[in-house]
Amino acid sequence: MATDATQLAGPSGTGGARLLEPPNGQERGRLRRDRLIPAVTVLATVVTISPLIAIIAFVMVKGLPTLDGQLIANAAGNPTAPGALNAIVGSLQMVPLALLIGGGLGLLAGIYLSEFAGSRTRQLFGFLVDVLLGVPSIIAGLLVYSTLVAANGSSAFAGSVALSVVMFPVMMRATEEVLRLVPTSIREASLALGISGWRTVVSIVLRAARAGLLTGTMLAFARGFGETAPLLFTAKGSDALNIGDLGSTMSALPLFVYQYSRLPDRFFVAQAWSAAIVLLAIVLAINVAVRARSVNTRVE
Partner 1 sequence: MSQLLTGRRTGIGDFGFRRITLLAALAAGGLLVLLFGVLVNQSWPVWSEYGITKFLTTDTWAPNYIDPATSIVNPQIGALPFVAGTVLSGLIALVVAAPVGVLVAIYLVEYAPRRVSLVLTFIVELIAAIPSVVVGLWGLYIFAPFLRDTLQWYIASTVGHVIPFFAEDPDRPSTFSVFTAGMVLAIMITPMVIAISREVIRSVPLSLREGHVGLGATRWETIRSVVLPTAWVGILGGVMLAFGRALGETIAVTMVIGNIDQVPASIYEPGQTIASKIATNLGDVTAKLELASLIGLGVVLLVVTVVLSAVVRLTARRFATVYAY
Partner 2 sequence: MTVTEPRAGIVQPVTLAPAREMSAIEPDLRQLAPNEGMRIDGLHAFYGSFKALNDVTLQVRPRSVTAFIGPSGCGKSTLLRSLNRMHERVPGARIQGTVELDGVDIYGPAINPVRVRRVIGMVFQKPNPFPAMSIYDNVVAGLRLSGTRNRHVLDEAVERSLTRAALWSEVKDKLRQPGTSLSGGQQQRLCIARTIAVEPEVILMDEPCSALDPRATLRIEELITELRAAFTIVIVTHNMQQAARVSDETAFFTMGDDRAGYLVEMAPTTTLFTNPTQPLTEDYVSGRFG
Return the range that interacts with partner 1 (CB under 8 A); candidates 7-15, 81-89, 92-100, 166-174.
166-174
* Binding-residue total with partner 1 (CB under 8 A): 109
Q: Which of residues 49-88 bind partner 1 (CB under 8 A)?
A: 49, 51-52, 54-55, 58-59, 62
Q: Are 114 and 175 in contact (CB under 8 A)?
A: yes
Among 14, 20, 21, 116, binds partner 1 (CB under 8 A): 116
Positions 14 through 33 that interact with partner 1 (CB under 8 A): 30-31, 33
Q: How far is the CB of 80 from partner 1 (least distance, A)?
A: 26
Cβ at position 105, least distance to partner 2 in Å: 42
Q: How many other C-beta atoms lie within 10 A of the C-beta of residue 95?
A: 26
Contacts with partner 2, residue ranges (CB under 8 A):
1-3, 5, 7-21, 23, 26-27, 30-31
Among 219, 199, 216, 207, residue whose Cα is nearest residue 182: 207
Stretch that binds partner 1, among 6-14, 77-85, 179-187, 239-247 (CB under 8 A): 179-187
The C-alpha atoms of residue 58 and residue 55 are separated, in whole angstroms, by 5
Q: Does 279 bind partner 1 (CB under 8 A)?
A: yes
Please name which of 163, 130, 131 lies closest in space to residue 144, comparing C-alpha atoms. 163
Q: How far is the CB of 16 from partner 1 (least distance, A)?
A: 16
CB 252 within 8 A of CB 231: yes
Residue from 1, 19, 151, 292 touching partner 1 (CB under 8 A): that is 292
98 lines the binding site for partner 1 (CB under 8 A): no
Name the residue among 213, 221, 185, 178 with its Cα closest to residue 200. Answer: 185
Span 258-277, contacts to partner 1 by CB under 8 A: 258, 261-262, 269, 272-273, 276
In the window 136-165, what residues touch partner 1 (CB under 8 A)? Answer: 136-139, 142-143, 145-147, 165
CB closer to partner 1, 2 vs 49: 49
Q: What is the SS3 assignment for 225?
A: helix
With CB cut-offs between 5 and 8 Å by kind, which of partner 2, partner 1, none does residue 247 bind? Answer: none
Are the C-beta atoms of 149 and 230 separated by less than 8 Å? no
Identity of residue 262: R
Q: Which amino acid is at 266?
A: R
Q: Which residues contact 169 (CB under 8 A, 6 or more apart)?
A: 106, 129, 132, 133
Among 66, 74, 114, 160, binds partner 1 (CB under 8 A): 114
Cβ–Cβ < 8 Å for 247, 156 = yes
